[in-house]
């Protein structure tokens, strides 16, 4: 105890010192004399009332998103197919919904439908009919026009701009007449922003493989902007004509132009609308004349678009300025496609484009479409990607018949839109990983094809009888190293058995080319990801056998 200090302070300090020194204090015994003095802390009274704060749901749990059926801005979603609507590229509307501010639509098309026979089989690559990016463009224009007609009143003077188009997976037609090959197109529109996001879905591969953004704009503003560029474009066209007249540029007839185009694409007569082409290295101009018949009920006929816009691909695949013996060039995207005036049947047009190199083995150009001296359409920043010709058979092959059972059907696509979100754009990286550009999924993910038991026994007997297979395997290994050295542009002498494959910059894209060449030249099955399964070239010797 201290004379000048409160006893509680003295006692508290003493207990603190003892506790810090490690003494086990019985705190319950210490507080026991004061238990009767304990009481609850006073708190203000809590007031209760009977107000109901529950927000009752008004809707039908569909795409109405909580809007009451009596809402004047709401139009009930159509959950069954829309009867009476059909174009050559869009065969059925599976569902659609319109409000004052938004619209949603899901459509379905069958690539084996007789209506599409001419436009798909008239555009063959690797001897297979291909649904071109311009057929997808007509689908986009058709869906966009449907939204425009149903969702935006007084829309007669509104133009459709197909922007940020990306096409990650080619649709190659199969030839089983009893099996449909369905493509689903879904779109979600923000009518206040005058924009719509469009996506294409392939149920057979369970893959969203293409997407674009639609902008509803004023076509008169396009014409005004293009008029300021028309002088430059027409001067380049005049210069090309002068070069052709002096023999410094090549002037090609229809047959010769499409014969050169046949290095990659074989066109039927309905596509052959370029009447003459003047080609000078990386730029060209074409005189285009469309037939009097559109050969279908189109919004913008794909073979009309192709007749003008494919001039960009002709420079790369049909000319002599770019290497099209070792490579081919296909278009995965464009920035903008818009036509201020329709591409009319029987109309005569000029198409001009200059293709320039860009990043990542890409080439880009702006295609100008003129009627007289007036620019009436522009495809801005159309991109072509360079591919090794060895990949042609890999990319353009028909899909396997009998779609996977886990694939979504068209009706399920409509139900999945909400979970997918309004951002309908599939990322390029994701689509690229899923697309057939990355190779056949069976080969990419499956193991090397095992030999049958009978074949294995026969091979074992052969190996016992003669060492010849071992010598053949050694020759295969040498050839495999030659292929890798050629593709990687390195000296084959550095590819020793203990050399690490990872040290030579072999990536997934290059492995596609190498594995394809190994399959074709060595007649052996090898996975695209073989370089991930081995570490050295000695391991590859075992893999090749």
pLDDT tops 50 at residue 424:
no
CATH number assigned to the domain comprising residue 98: 3.10.129.110
Q: What does the block give as tokens for 65?
A: 């998103």
Mean pLDDT in residue range 340-366:
95
Helix (H, G, I), strand (E, B) or coil at 370: strand
- Quickly list H helices, 159-301: 219-227, 230-245, 254-261
Token pair of 265 as six digits:
């694409």
Residue 540 confidence (pLDDT): 79
Mean pLDDT of 355-359: 93
Question: What pLDDT is attached to residue 60?
Answer: 60
Same-domain pairing of 248 and 364: yes
Q: Which of 138, 306, 366, 528 is catalytic?
A: 306
Question: Rounded distance, CA 435 to CA 456, Å?
Answer: 34
Task: Judge whether residue 214 has pLDDT over 90.
Answer: yes
pLDDT at residue 469 greater than cutoff 70: no
Owning domain of residue 185: 61-216
Between 448 and 233, residue with greater pLDDT? 233
DSSP 437-485: GG--HHHHHSPPPPPPHHHHHHHHHHHHH-SHHHHHHHHHHHHHHHHHH
- Statement: residue 379 has pLDDT above 90: yes
Q: What pLDDT shows up at residue 428? A: 41
Better pLDDT: 283 or 455: 283
Structure confidence at residue 282 (pLDDT)? 95
> What does the pLDDT read at residue 401?
64
Specify whether the CB–CB gap between 278 and 241 falls below 8 A.
yes
pLDDT of 66 higher than 60:
no
Give the start-end residues of each E strand in 355-457: 356-357, 362-371, 374-388
In a domain, 519, yes or no: yes
Give residues with Cβ within 8 angstroms of 434, minimum separation 6.
168, 169, 205, 207, 209
- Whether residue 98 is predicted with pLDDT greater than 80 in this model: the reply is yes
Q: What is the pLDDT of residue 409?
A: 52
Asked if the structure places residue 10 within a domain, the reply is: no
Are 349 and 343 in contact, with CB atoms under 8 Å apart? Answer: yes
526 closest CA partner among 437, 438, 435, 444: 444
Task: Quickly state the pLDDT bin for 419 (edges 50, 70, 90).
Answer: very low
Residue 160, pLDDT score: 97
Count of structural domains, the chain: 3
- Asked, for residue 440, whether it belongs to a domain, the answer is no
- 134 and 196 in a single domain? The answer is yes
Say whether pLDDT at 467 is over 70. no
Mean pLDDT throughout 289-308?
Answer: 95
255 and 343, same domain (yes or no): yes
Label residue 426 by pLDDT band (50, 70, 90).
very low
Residues 320 and 364 in one domain: yes
**Are residue 323 and residue 372 in the same domain, yes or no?**
yes
Considering the chain, what percentage of its residues have pLDDT values greater than 90?
51
**Confidence (pLDDT) at 545:** 62
Q: Per-residue pLDDT for 440 more than 90?
A: no
How confident is the model over 485-530, as pLDDT tens digits? 888 888 888 888 888 887 887 777 777 788 778 877 877 777 767 7
Where does 354-409 have alpha helices with state H?
392-395
Note if 138 is an active site residue: no
195: which 2 tokens? 């924009």
Candidate from 228-242, 346-360, 436-450, 461-475 with smallest mean pLDDT: 436-450
In 3D, which of 132, 138, 110 has the Cα closest to residue 120?
132
Regarding whether 198 and 115 lie in a shared domain, the answer is yes
Distance CA 215, CA 211 (A): 14
pTM, to two decimals: 0.68
Number of other CB atoms surrounding residue 142 within 10 Å? 23
Domain shared by 205 and 230, yes or no = no
Mean pLDDT lowest among 22-36, 55-69, 309-323: 55-69
Give one word for 174, left, alpha or beta, with left for phi > 0 and alpha for psi -120 to 50: beta
Q: What percent of the chain has pLDDT over 70?
A: 80
- Which of 347, 365, 396 finishes a domain? 396
**Residue 83 sits in the same domain as residue 232:** no
**Nearest CA-CA partner of 161 in 296, 334, 11, 321:** 334
Q: Are 110 and 182 in contact (CB under 8 A)?
A: yes
What is the rounded CA–CA span in Å between residue 408 and residue 341?
A: 38
> Do 350 and 235 lie in a common domain?
yes
Q: Exposed e or buried b for every residue in 177-215, given b needs 16+ CB within 10 A?
A: eeebbbbbbbbbbebeebebbbbbbbbbbebbbbbbbbb
Beta bridge partners of 380: 336
Active site (annotated) includes residue 306:
yes
Mean pLDDT in residue range 467-480: 62
Co-location of 206 and 282 in the same domain: no
Q: Has residue 1 been placed in a domain?
A: no
What does the pLDDT read at residue 386? Answer: 93
Stretch among 22-31, 108-117, 205-214 having the lowest mean pLDDT: 22-31
- Residue 495 to residue 503: CA distance in whole angstroms: 10
The listed range with the strongest mean pLDDT (81-90, 430-439, 466-475) is 81-90
**For residue 455, is it within any domain?**
no
The CATH number of the domain holding residue 522 is 1.10.1200.10
Catalytically annotated residue among 118, 123, 168, 174: 123
**Same-domain check for residues 228 and 164:** no
Domain contains 119: yes
Q: Are residues 237 and 343 in the same domain?
A: yes
* Domain-terminating residue out of 172, 190, 216: 216
Q: Which of 355, 380, 396 is the last residue of a domain?
A: 396
Strands, E, within 126-170: which ranges?
128-131, 159-167
Whether residue 453 is contained in a domain is answered as no
3-state secondary structure of 218: coil
The neighbour count for residue 349, using CB atoms within 10 Å, is 21
* Whole-number pLDDT of residue 516: 79
Asked if residue 313 is part of any domain, the answer here is yes
For residue range 167-181, list pLDDT tens digits in order: 998 999 988 878 899
Q: DSSP letter at 493?
A: G
Q: Give the separation between CA 285 and CA 182, rounded to whole angstroms.
A: 37
């Amino acid at each position: 105890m201290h004379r000048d200090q409160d006893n509680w302070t003295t006692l508290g300090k003493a207990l603190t010192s003892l506790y810090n020194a490690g003494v086990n204090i019985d705190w319950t015994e210490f507080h026991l004399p004061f238990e009767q003095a304990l009481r609850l802390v006073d708190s203000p009274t809590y007031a209760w009332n009977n107000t109901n704060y529950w927000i009752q749901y008004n809707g039908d749990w569909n795409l109405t998103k909580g809007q009451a059926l009596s809402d004047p801005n709401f139009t009930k979603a159509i959950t069954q197919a829309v009867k009476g609507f059909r174009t050559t590229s869009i065969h059925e509307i599976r569902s659609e919904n319109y409000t004052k501010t938004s619209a949603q639509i899901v459509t379905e098309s069958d690539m084996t439908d007789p209506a599409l026979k001419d436009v798909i089989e008239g555009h063959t690559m690797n001897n297979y009919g291909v649904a071109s990016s311009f057929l997808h463009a007509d689908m986009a224009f058709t869906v966009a026009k449907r939204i425009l007609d149903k969702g935006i009143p007084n829309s007669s003077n509104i133009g459709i701009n197909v922007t940020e188009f990306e096409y990650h997976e080619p649709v190659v037609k199969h030839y089983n007449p009893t099996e449909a090959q369905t493509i689903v197109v879904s779109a979600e529109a923000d009518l206040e922003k005058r924009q719509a996001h469009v996506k294409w879905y392939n149920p057979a591969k369970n893959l969203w493989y293409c997407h674009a953004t639609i902008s509803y704009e004023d076509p008169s503003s396009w014409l005004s902007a293009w008029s300021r560029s028309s002088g430059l474009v027409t001067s380049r066209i005049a210069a090309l004509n002068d070069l052709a007249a002096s023999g410094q540029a090549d002037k090609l007839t229809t047959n010769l132009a499409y014969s050169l185009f046949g290095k990659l694409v074989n066109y039927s007569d309905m596509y052959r609308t370029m009447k003459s082409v003047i080609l000078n290295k990386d730029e060209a101009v074409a005189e285009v004349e469309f037939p009097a018949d559109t050969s279908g009920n189109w919004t913008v006929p794909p073979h009309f678009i192709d007749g003008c816009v494919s001039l960009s691909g002709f420079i790369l695949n049909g000319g002599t300025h770019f290497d099209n013996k070792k490579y081919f060039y296909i278009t995965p995207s464009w920035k903008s496609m818009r036509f201020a005036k329709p591409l009319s049947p029987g109309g005569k047009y000029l198409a001009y484009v200059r293709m320039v190199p860009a990043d990542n083995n890409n080439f880009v150009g702006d295609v100008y479409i003129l009627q007289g001296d007036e620019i009436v359409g522009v495809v801005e920043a159309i991109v072509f990607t360079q591919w090794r010709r060895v990949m042609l058979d890999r990319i353009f092959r028909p899909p396997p018949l009998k779609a996977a059972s886990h694939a979504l059907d068209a009706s399920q696509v409509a139900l999945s839109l909400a979970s997918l979100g309004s951002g309908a754009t599939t990322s390029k990286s994701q689509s690229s990983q899923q697309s057939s550009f990355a190779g056949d999924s069976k080969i990419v993910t499956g193991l090397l094809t095992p030999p049958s038991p009978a074949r294995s026994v026969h091979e074992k007997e052969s190996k016992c009888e003669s060492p010849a297979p071992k010598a053949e395997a050694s020759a295969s290994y040498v050839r495999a190293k030659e292929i890798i050295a050629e593709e990687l542009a390195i000296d084959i002498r550095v590819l020793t058995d203990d050399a690490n494959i990872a040290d030579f910059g072999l990536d997934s894209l290059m492995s596609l080319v190498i594995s394809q060449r190994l399959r074709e030249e060595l007649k052996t099955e090898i996975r695209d990801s073989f370089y991930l399964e081995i570490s050295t070239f000695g391991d590859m010797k075992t893999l090749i056998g």
